[in-house]
Amino acid sequence: MSKSSIEQQIGLLFADAFTALDMDADLGRITKSQRPELGQFQCNGALPAAKRYRRNPLEIAQDIAEKVQSSELLKSVEVTPPGFINIKLADDFLASSVNQLTDDALVGIETTESPEHIALDFGGPNAAKPLHVGHLRSSIIGESLKRTLRTVGHKVTSDIHLGDWGTQMGMMIEAIKKTNPELPYFDENFKGEYPKKSPLDVTEFMSMYPEASQLCKSDPEEMDKARQATLELQQGRAGYRALWQHIRNLSIEEMKPDFERLGVTFDLWYGEADADPYVSVVVQEAKEKKIAIESEGALVVPYTDDKGKEQAPMILLKSDGAAIYATTDLATIKERVENLKMDRCIYVVDNRQDLHFRQVFNAATQLNYLAKDKLTFAGFGTMNGPDNKPFKTRDGGVLRLTDLIKTATDLAYTRLKETGAQERFDAEEMADIAHKVAIATIKFADLHNDRKANYIFDLEKFSQFEGKTGPYLLYSAVRMKSILRKAEESGLMAGNIMAPTTEEERELMLAMMSINKAVETTIENLQPHHLCDFSYGLSQSFSRFYNACHIMAETDKNKQQSWLGLTKLALKQQERILDMLGIAIPERM
């Protein structure tokens, strides 16, 4: 059977009631109550109905209430002025609904009716640059969206989409040429095979970049050289390609451990360069269809926004003929659609690239690669320091992702020791717990904020393990595990969930019934913070239940089994949601 939520089931009842009064069925929509003391759910349909049918809203509400009154799904239906209908569920109905989730592998989450193959573009680090906190959001949000979309049945292919084809590569080539001119990569007459081994190690590459970038910024001549090298690289100069390959490979090896520690994975480790074979085709098509025009020596695609205002054009080819990131992004869309057969592209990228993607989407739509609504820019705000400026370390530098993870792990370890954990766990488990707590802290601190908004990133947040934090979620899940473990040791089994006898049970059940709503909203808006809210709410509900209902001490066996059933389901849901957030739960902590 289809899993329909409480709101949907009750909604049907109310829709019928409205239909019976010759009114639109959509008026029967049910929402969670805003006044819990008056009811658990409410129907506000009588208010718009009053306007639509020119009748007194209170009377309509009373008529509706009368019609649904007898339903055995409901305990009570009450009308309050000016026409609110407050609904309390029958406890039996609630319990049986919750029991149904117990048998469901997705614990109440509905799968999509129209599965798509989605390209999820996130991460996006540059080759030759170390990962820093700026890469955190993209990775964490992207990873979460990937898991969430997959959970509901989409096929998702994640692509790290490295920045490896732009001027920064030319800068690197020129910088290496300067320090190591004797290398064969720079000899145009070199005909032999280039060395398999990289001339420099990754640390050396990475230490060169900031200086090279600085030099190009201050010296136009150096910048020209870098641009020229970029063009030659793109045109296939063998020595440059060989050197570029080394930089790319080493960069990937360097960043892999950080992504691994974060639990972030990519199906494709493509980069801008991988779209290169499509660039000439795209340029050709754009010219033929007269979408691209020449302007100031460059080939551009003009862009007029939704309001009909002309915005800056997208540069398809620079005046020297080289491709830039707009070119490769456009070419990548063609590759994804035509070669990889994808239906949709989602980009989890910094908000500041908004215009860039509007331009690219505009071109892609005009070239008929994808419909406009299949190209989504899921931008995120910047991580700022306490001064509301993009986050910097005390000495003004960028904070390396590695260092952030290490700091958070050390703090988690310290906190763990404070609880006397070293007497309970061996060194290996201690390290594992500290790592999981650290990742949960970092991820939850980031994910619980709305993706679009900037947020203040404070290192102190990572020494905070109380309140609305990742560790709180872990802690409550670990307590669930602990009880279930104890029950098992005593030979106690989770059983049928009975109608609630306490408000805490009822609340927990209601919380668990709302899981699908949270997932739906998350997917619709591509905002994982709704999952965070659900997860936190579930933890809170469970904690209250935990405090009020002492499971192991309960003498009524049916009650005890029911409570174990609730605990088991709460854990299953929490595991599902935290999995979608990319947060792993330890066995104990």
Partner RNA sequence: GCAUCCGUAGCUCAGCUGGAUAGAGCAUCUGCCUUCUAAGCAGAGGGUCGUGCGUUCGAGUCGCACCGGAUGCACCA
Residues in 287-326 at the binding interface with RNA, rule: CB under 7 A = 295-298, 300, 305, 307, 309, 311-313, 315, 318-320, 322, 324-325
The residue range among 17-25, 278-286, 495-503, 532-540 that interacts with RNA, by the rule CB under 7 A, is 532-540
Closest approach of RNA to the CB of residue 266, in Å: 17
Residue among 343 and 575 whose Cβ is closer to RNA: 575
Please report whether residue 222 would count as binding RNA according to CB under 7 A: no
Q: How far is the C-alpha of 552 from the C-alpha of 585, rounded, in Å?
A: 23
Alpha helix (H) ranges present in 103-219?
Answer: 134-151, 167-179, 202-218
Element of type H or E holding 87: strand 84-89
Please report whether residue 20 would count as binding RNA according to CB under 7 A: no
Please report whether residue 29 would count as binding RNA according to CB under 7 A: yes
Closest C-alpha to 214, from 222, 202, 225 = 222
The residue range among 176-184, 276-284, 396-404, 524-532 that interacts with RNA, by the rule CB under 7 A, is 524-532
> In 268-419, where do the E strands start and end?
293-295, 298-304, 310-317, 344-347, 375-377, 383-384
Which residue of 8, 80, 245, 407 would you call a contact of RNA, by CB under 7 A?
80
Which residue of 126, 332, 516, 562 would you call a contact of RNA, by CB under 7 A?
126
Residue among 527 and 562 whose Cβ is closer to RNA: 527
Q: Which two tokens stand for residue 454?
A: 């900037």
Which residue of 14, 84, 259, 278 would you call a contact of RNA, by CB under 7 A?
84
Which residue of 5, 33, 409, 573 would you call a contact of RNA, by CB under 7 A?
33
Q: What three-state secondary structure class fits 370?
A: coil
Q: Please, which residues have CB within 8 angstroms of residue 23's CB and are 6 or more apart in sequence?
A: 49, 52, 53, 60
- For residue 190, which phi and psi values (nearest 5 degrees)? -65, 130
- Residues 179-218 contacting RNA, CB under 7 A: none
* Number of neighbouring beta carbons within 10 Å of residue 513: 21
Closest approach of RNA to the CB of residue 278, in Å: 16
Residue among 183 and 477 whose Cβ is closer to RNA: 477
Dihedral angle computed from the Cα positions of residues 553, 558, 564 and 565, in that order, rounded to the nearest 10 degrees:
-170
Closest approach of RNA to the CB of residue 472, in Å: 4
Closest approach of RNA to the CB of residue 540, in Å: 5
Please report whether residue 60 would count as binding RNA according to CB under 7 A: no
Closest C-alpha to 317, from 339, 294, 340 = 294
**Residues 430-469 vs RNA: string with x where CB under 7 A?**
---x---x----------xxx-xxxxx-------xxxxxx
Please report whether residue 28 would count as binding RNA according to CB under 7 A: no
Please report whether residue 472 would count as binding RNA according to CB under 7 A: yes
Which residue of 14, 165, 259, 278 would you call a contact of RNA, by CB under 7 A?
165
16: burial class by Cβ within 10 Å (0-12, 13-18, 19+)? middle
Q: How far is the C-alpha of 143 from the C-alpha of 94, rounded, in Å?
A: 34
> In 448-565, where do the E strands start and end?
455-456
Dihedral angle computed from the Cα positions of residues 505, 508, 509 and 514, in that order, rounded to the nearest 10 degrees:
160
Element of type H or E holding 30: strand 30-32
Closest C-alpha to 331, from 312, 349, 317 = 317
Closest approach of RNA to the CB of residue 428, in Å: 15
Residue among 211 and 305 whose Cβ is closer to RNA: 305
Closest C-alpha to 75, from 100, 26, 41, 31 = 41
265: burial class by Cβ within 10 Å (0-12, 13-18, 19+)? middle
Residue among 193 and 418 whose Cβ is closer to RNA: 418
Residue among 181 and 396 whose Cβ is closer to RNA: 396
Element of type H or E holding 530: helix 529-548
Q: How far is the C-alpha of 566 from the C-alpha of 202, rounded, in Å?
A: 52
Q: How far is the C-alpha of 417 from the C-alpha of 124, rounded, in Å?
A: 37
- Residues 245-274 contacting RNA, CB under 7 A: 272
The residue range among 130-138, 255-263, 479-487, 492-500 that interacts with RNA, by the rule CB under 7 A, is 479-487
Please report whether residue 500 would count as binding RNA according to CB under 7 A: no
Please report whether residue 427 would count as binding RNA according to CB under 7 A: no
Please report whether residue 75 would count as binding RNA according to CB under 7 A: no
Residue among 183 and 303 whose Cβ is closer to RNA: 303
Closest approach of RNA to the CB of residue 147, in Å: 20
Closest approach of RNA to the CB of residue 96, in Å: 24
Please report whether residue 483 would count as binding RNA according to CB under 7 A: yes
- Residues 365-394 contacting RNA, CB under 7 A: 381-382, 388-390
Residue among 191 and 389 whose Cβ is closer to RNA: 389
Please report whether residue 396 would count as binding RNA according to CB under 7 A: no
The residue range among 165-173, 183-191, 273-281, 330-338 that interacts with RNA, by the rule CB under 7 A, is 165-173
- Residues 503-522 contacting RNA, CB under 7 A: 517, 521
Residue among 190 and 459 whose Cβ is closer to RNA: 459
Buried/exposed code over 291-322 (b: 16+ C-beta within 10 A; e: otherwise): bbeeeeebbbbbbeeeeeeeeebbbbbbeeeb
Q: Which two tokens stand for residue 335?
A: 């590759």
| Angle at 324 (CA atoms; ends 320, 327), nearest 5 degrees | 110
Residue among 159 and 183 whose Cβ is closer to RNA: 159
Closest approach of RNA to the CB of residue 88, in Å: 12
Please report whether residue 419 would count as binding RNA according to CB under 7 A: yes
Which residue of 3, 32, 241, 400 would you call a contact of RNA, by CB under 7 A?
32
| Angle at 459 (CA atoms; ends 129, 535), nearest 5 degrees | 100
Please report whether residue 39 would count as binding RNA according to CB under 7 A: yes
Please report whether residue 31 would count as binding RNA according to CB under 7 A: yes
Please report whether residue 242 would count as binding RNA according to CB under 7 A: no
Q: Please, which residues have CB within 8 angstroms of residue 248's CB and are 6 or more apart in sequence?
A: 127, 162, 164, 271, 273
Please report whether residue 19 would count as binding RNA according to CB under 7 A: no
Please report whether residue 422 would count as binding RNA according to CB under 7 A: no
